[in-house]
Amino acid sequence: MLNTLTTLLGGLLLGLSLAAPPGPMNAIIAEQSVLGGWKSGFKAGLGAMTADFCFLVFSLIGLTTIVTESNTIHGILLGIGGFLMLYFAYESIKNANKALIGEEVGKKDKGFQKTFVLAITNPYQIIWWLSAGIALLKPGSVGTIGYQINTGTPLIVFGLFLGILIWIVSFPLALKLAKQKFQKLEYIIAYASAIILLLFSLIFFYNSLSNLFRL
């Protein structure tokens, strides 16, 4: 019983460690949350979570290794990710400008598509699944502070996605509550999202060129 609980908790914490760090995904989730409400933010998070489920399947059949074994494929995916982030940064600035002057932001909800496409073309997410993800799926056990976490079980995978789900529910909710107290939050978040996406696009472009031309 104790091993069951520690395994579930281990997977949950691993899921939070994958979902919570600042980056382009959370920038889009934040923007969607303050501009479109909790539902829009959750749907954006669901897009990233769906991509992680795809990576789980790819890891099980060994497909993700192709990316790390080929500099060309790695570089192309980084380039695609860079262009996508640049485009999403432009959209964030456009939405922020509309919010700033009180104009209604477009109602078409694209959060799910944005995060899914961005995540599925993200080599760094693929590398996570090739490292931590493979360790998670490989049958065995990990001892930690006197307790044991069983890897390679459905329970730890369930815990992983439960951790991601907790994040994509609570993060948009926290932003919704914060917006109620601070009305200017929506365009501040939208501008911040644009800056984060722009910075990550530059990083992706540089690494894309490094892989393609071995700079």
What would the mean pLDDT of 32-55 be, rounded to a whole number?
91
Nearest Cα residue to 208 out of 122, 130, 127, 129 = 122
Supply the pLDDT for residue 146. 57
d(CA 157, CA 136): 8
DSSP 90-133: HHHHHHHHHHHTTPPPP----HHHHHHHHHHT-HHHHHHIIIII
Residue 74 has pLDDT above 90, yes or no: no
In angstroms, what is the C-alpha Rg of the chain? 18
Residue 192 has pLDDT above 60, yes or no: yes
Residue 64 pLDDT level (bands cut at 50, 70, 90): low
Supply the pLDDT for residue 44. 93
Supply the pLDDT for residue 167. 94
Q: What is the pLDDT of residues 115-159, one digit of tens each?
A: 998 888 887 777 777 777 776 777 766 655 556 777 778 888 898
Residue 112 has pLDDT above 80, yes or no: yes
DSSP 82-100: HHHHHHHHHHHHHHHHHHH
**Burial (Cβ within 10 Å: 0-12, 13-18, ≥19) of residue 9:** middle
- Percentage of the chain lying above the pLDDT 90 cut: 16
d(CA 142, CA 139): 10
Which stretch of DSSP H or E encloses residue 211?
helix 185-213
Supply the pLDDT for residue 6. 81
Q: What is the longest distance spanned by two Cα atoms in the chain?
A: 57
d(CA 82, CA 90): 12
Residues in CB range of 189: below 8 A, 6 or more apart: 30, 31, 33, 34, 35, 175
Residue 39 pLDDT level (bands cut at 50, 70, 90): very high
Supply the pLDDT for residue 1. 62
What is the pTM (predicted TM-score) of this model? 0.79
Supply the pLDDT for residue 168. 94
d(CA 38, CA 29): 10
- Domain ranges within the chain, ordered by starting residue: 23-139+167-213
| Residue 177 in tokens | 């509550």
β-pairing, 140-144 with 147-151? antiparallel
| 7 vs 184, residue with greater confidence | 7
Residue 102 has pLDDT above 60, yes or no: no
d(CA 25, CA 93): 16
Residue 2 pLDDT level (bands cut at 50, 70, 90): low
Residue 85 has pLDDT above 80, yes or no: yes
